[in-house]
Amino acid sequence: METGNAYLGQERIGKLMAKYAVPCIISLLVGALYNIVDQIFIANASYLGSYGNAANTVVFPLTVIALAIAVMIGDGCCAFVSISLGKEQPALAKRSVGNSIVLAVVGSLVLSGLYLTFSDSIIAMFGGTVNPETFRHAKEYFFYITLGIPFYMFGQAMNPIIRADGSPRFAMVSTLAGAVINVILDPVFIFVCQWGMMGAAVATVLGQVVTAALAVWYVLHMQLVKPQRADFALDASVSKKTLVLGLTSFLSQIALVAAMAAINNMIRKYGALDPIFGQEQYAQIPMAVVGIVMKFFQIVISIVVGMAAGCIPIVGFNMGAGKRGRVKELFTRLLVAEATVGLVALLVVELFPRQLIGIFGAANESIYYTAFALRAFRIYLCMVILACINKACFIFLQAMGKAAASTTLSMVREIVFGVGFALLLPRFFQLNGVLYSMPLSDALTFIVALFLIIGTYRELSQDNSL
């Protein structure tokens, strides 16, 4: 008997990519805009400025921890559902969805409790003590963001599950609705109500509530894999397989957190030794600037991950159905598309860095802010093309069910290189060492990824049937 999404094994690859990848890209871009929009409005509020920017940079990796848990559950379930449907095992697919919903709810409540209990220590761990004003802003922002963690995690976990159920457009619209609420409320709360960091956080949380509410509605109206009451009882075997498939997504995000923690602390340490940024009134500038560079990179990576993650149902179904030739064609198209995105991003950061920093309130800042921002954009992202290809490789291998290879490559990039170079290079190059860590990590990771890409092509070439 054919499953409801058997067309994944029949429709033209280019058409499938457009149908699944574009909504996924938009969903991730919109999700990324939550924090980015906050930072833009914060930066352009004269009473917050670079202090607020630095505080936002401190809290950002803490939201990524929540995202890491959510995408492990959601992406793992998406891959499990797609492979199960390809093997014509819908009962397992439904059980995975039910279990994933329970895991997302429980995980979000536990994380929120930990954040509220240990907030001061956590903020300090991520560089929030660079100066008293930054710490005050970070603490205020973090408290309200934490209240929204359950809604944020549920919405993010459900997004890939909704795509796997054959509704990528709904996944996109639900995320877009929340982001629109955030964009509307941010200027009202920050400029009109003068609520500062609290206003930015509350606007974000209200948007996340809308996205979560739409996700709940969809769960009650699922099409292909609507879970029954029994499917919500945790099944150790199904939950384990689901989480293992999503482990790469988790580790890539959590490793990014480790890298950001290392970077923030190195900025705090070596910024204090700098003749300019060692002065208290300028101490927050390097952290604020690197946070802005990371936000631009997040936009690029949202497009890259969206392309690759949008292909997960297509890859999973065709691998499950034994159609490796289609998977090979998809891999080729994906690598070309990702490299193109990287090239465009490289041209933007090398040619228009002043315009980029202008968006984030550079006009209100000192000449030291502008000079460091120009240097940061041009150095930190000079290997962005390779970063895009690397990320596509991580996710594609995950979609093929190669969790071990995908996880290993991701860990090499984020922990061995990302954290390692962030800690090592500043010893020799001070603040510039922080900037050098990113391109060097991406260049070395690409060398490793190239071997895996060649091996994947050889494996998929064993069956060229379309």
**Tens digits of residue pLDDT in 214-267:** 999 998 888 778 888 888 888 888 888 888 888 777 876 787 788 888 888 898
CA 452 vs CA 239, 308, 385, 401, 408: distances in Å: 28, 16, 17, 14, 11
With beta carbons less than 8 A apart as the criterion, state whether 204 and 148 touch.
yes
pLDDT at residue number 305? 83
**Tens digits of residue pLDDT in 411-441:** 888 888 989 999 999 999 988 999 999 999 9
Residue, of 180 and 463, whose pLDDT is higher? 180
pLDDT-derived band of residue 5, with 50, 70 and 90 as boundaries?
Answer: low
Helix (H) or strand (E) holding 187: helix 168-187
With beta carbons less than 8 A apart as the criterion, state whether 398 and 79 touch.
yes
pLDDT-derived band of residue 363, with 50, 70 and 90 as boundaries?
Answer: low
Distance from C-alpha of 429 to C-alpha of 437, rounded to nearest angstrom: 10
Query: Which residues lie below 8 Å from residue 417, measured CB to CB, with a gap of 6+?
Result: 437, 440, 441, 444, 445
Backbone angles phi, psi at 71, to 5 degrees: -75, -30
CA-closest candidate to residue 327, choices 391, 399, 386: 399
User: In residues, how long is the chain?
Assistant: 466
Distance from C-alpha of 402 to C-alpha of 408, rounded to nearest angstrom: 10
> What percentage of the chain exceeds 70 in pLDDT?
95
The alpha-carbon radius of gyration of the chain (Å, integer) is 22
pLDDT at residue number 187? 93
Residue, of 69 and 330, whose pLDDT is higher? 69
pLDDT at residue number 186? 92
CA torsion 397-401-406-407 (nearest 10°) is 160
**Tens digits of residue pLDDT in 440-455:** 999 999 999 998 888 8
3-state secondary structure at position 360: coil
Domain residue limits, the chain: 33-245, 252-461
Structure tokens at 455: 């091996």
Query: Residue 367 is which amino acid?
Result: I
| Beta-strand runs (E) in 310-431 | none
pTM for this structure? 0.76
Residue, of 84 and 74, whose pLDDT is higher? 74
With beta carbons less than 8 A apart as the criterion, state whether 330 and 13 touch.
yes
For helices 132-147 and 149-164, angle between their N-to-C axes, nearest 10 degrees: 50
pLDDT-derived band of residue 362, with 50, 70 and 90 as boundaries?
Answer: low
pLDDT at residue number 444? 95
